[in-house]
């Protein structure tokens, strides 16, 4: 085996991990793949013969690439407040009956869609510190040079990010069957127009975020059980087209009409009640999603 083939094989051993890091950092599968590809190009141009820990080296490289991409995204954003409230990261669609090994790596730390939404509000440095330390156990001493801060200051970045995440994205029930029960109850009540039944399954402070694209009519944020339940007619009309799916590892649905996905709905269920509903209905982004798991 020549040296080039050996380097390629060594990189492929780390590809899934690097994609998982990039996805958490960027919230975009396409950008995550771009970051991983850029990491490969940098590896191919670098003499790593004396690098003892190639995985650590590649994690640092892809993290720096992602940090630059986040900073560039922040500079391009014209209306950050609006998009931070409604931007839904790329969802990962899976089957409740079949586990996809690649998605299992991407979701190893139960990175639910509601958590990804909250992470969109973090600064690039906060997001990097939180993802690397809290999700991948990278020491602060190794993260600090990436954000050009001391280890103590980097620790504070992660702590600040952690408080935001814990306050806005509560940990969902671990029992998938319990999650599914709440989602099924939600659509059953919506289909039958049972307002009080909807209030029973919704947390009083439930938040519904819908991303229909920039300026789209379906790009809204609704808060409170009564406000969300007030959309029961809309949900009821969707009920016949709902196909159960895992969305970022949690119970969710894909709404399919005429073999075309019209929305993806992710639910966060805590103690049997729905606390968050995250909806992606942007036609352009839906068309780019991998929905092969629904074939099951």
pLDDT digits (tens, 9 = 90+) for 73-101: 888 765 445 556 678 999 989 887 766 66
Residue with tokens 């997001």: 127
pLDDT of residue 105 exceeding 70, the answer is no
Contact between 228 and 208 under an 8 Å Cβ cutoff? The reply is: yes
Mean pLDDT of the chain: 88
pLDDT of residue 146 exceeding 70, the answer is yes
Q: What is the pLDDT confidence band of residue 102, given thresholds at 50, 70 and 90?
A: low
What pLDDT is stored for residue 231 in this prediction? 84
pLDDT digits (tens, 9 = 90+) for 57-79: 999 999 999 999 999 988 876 54
Q: Give the whole-angstrom CA distance, residue 193 versus residue 174.
A: 29
Residue 88, helix vs strand vs coil? coil
What pLDDT is stored for residue 84 in this prediction? 60
What pLDDT is stored for residue 296 in this prediction? 57
pLDDT of residue 121 exceeding 70, the answer is yes
A 10 A CB-CB count for 110 gives 13
Task: Compute the chain's Rg from CA coordinates.
Answer: 20
Q: Give the whole-angstrom CA distance, residue 256 versus residue 227.
A: 25
pLDDT digits (tens, 9 = 90+) for 228-248: 999 877 788 888 899 999 999
Tokens for 44, please give them.
Answer: 């191919």
């Amino acid at each position: 085996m020549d040296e080039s083939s050996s380097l390629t094989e060594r990189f492929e051993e780390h590809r899934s991990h690097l994609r998982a890091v990039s996805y958490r950092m960027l919230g975009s599968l396409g950008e995550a793949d771009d970051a991983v590809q850029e990491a490969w190009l940098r590896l191919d141009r670098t003499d790593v013969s004396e690098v003892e820990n190639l995985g650590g080296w590649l994690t640092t490289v892809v993290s720096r690439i992602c940090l630059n991409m986040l900073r560039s995204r922040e500079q391009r954003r014209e209306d950050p407040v609006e998009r931070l409230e409604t931007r839904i990261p790329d969802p990962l669609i899976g089957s409740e009956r079949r586990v996809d090994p690649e998605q299992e790596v991407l979701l190893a730390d139960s990175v639910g869609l509601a958590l990804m939404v909250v992470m969109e509000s973090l600064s690039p440095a906060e997001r990097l510190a939180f993802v690397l330390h809290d999700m991948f156990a990278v020491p602060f001493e190794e993260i600090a040079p990436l954000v050009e801060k001391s280890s103590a200051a980097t620790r504070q970045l992660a702590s600040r990010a952690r408080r935001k995440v814990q306050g806005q994205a509560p940990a969902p029930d671990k029992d998938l069957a319990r999650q599914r029960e709440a989602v099924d109850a939600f659509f059953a009540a919506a289909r039958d127009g049972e307002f009080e039944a909807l209030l029973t399954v919704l947390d009083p402070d439930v938040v519904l975020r819908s991303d229909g694209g920039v300026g789209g009519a379906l790009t809204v944020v609704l808060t409170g059980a009564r406000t969300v339940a007030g959309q029961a007619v809309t949900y009821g009309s969707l009920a016949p087209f709902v196909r159960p799916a895992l969305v970022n590892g949690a119970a969710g649905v894909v709404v399919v009409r005429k073999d075309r996905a019209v929305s993806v709905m992710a639910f966060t269920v805590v103690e049997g009640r729905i606390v968050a509903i995250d909806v992606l209905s942007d036609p352009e982004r839906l068309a780019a999603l991998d929905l092969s798991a629904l074939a099951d």
